[in-house]
Amino acid sequence: MTCTSEYVPQLRARGFRMTSQRLAILHVLRHAGTHLSPSEIYRQAKRDYPGLTEPTVYRTLELLSDIALVRPSYNSSGHLTYEIAGNDHHHIICKQCGSEIEVEHTLLESLYRLLETTSGYRSIGSHVTFFGVCPQCQTS
């Protein structure tokens, strides 16, 4: 499945257009498979499309988040990072050393049901980041 064939319909369905800039950014995120900062995305996508500018990167990442093609999250220093949307998961980051682990979404499902019934809010979102202290840092 190529980036073009996969993402063009998803953009069109919402009334958005595919552009070289968006394709370059999606390509970077898809190939990376991890969380990337806007500036790192900018740096890499510029290789594909040298005319790319920073404002476009920021605006594109926000759009792609809105239509759920990418997921925003915060790293240990509180800055926004993005990753390509895929299997649902969450993160726990160590407050002290910054080490990060993934958490299956299934662990949160009963909480989400509870939140939805008690709050009335729906489709309460994925990709949450929790902060704690990792096993290593607990000993020292």
Partner DNA sequence: ATAGTTATTGCAAGAACTTGCAATAAGGAT
Partner DNA sequence: ATCCTTATTGCAAGTTCTTGCAATAACTAT
Site residues, DNA (CB under 7 A): 8, 11-12, 15-22, 37-39, 49, 51-56, 58-60, 62-63, 77-80
In this complex, which beta carbon is closest to DNA, that of residue 53 or of residue 138? 53
Helix (H, G, I), strand (E, B) or coil at 81: strand
The residues that touch Zn ion, with contacts defined as CB under 5 A, are 94, 96-97, 99, 134, 137
84/97 Cα distance (integer angstroms): 25
CA–CA–CA angle 134, 135, 140 (5° rounding): 95
4/6 Cα distance (integer angstroms): 5
Task: Please report how close the Cβ of residue 67 comes to DNA at its closest, in angstroms.
Answer: 10
Q: Which two tokens stand for residue 43?
A: 């740096």
Residues lying near a second copy in the complex (CB under 8 A) are found at 72, 74, 78, 80, 92, 94-95, 101, 103, 107-108, 110-111, 114-116, 118-125, 128, 130-135, 138
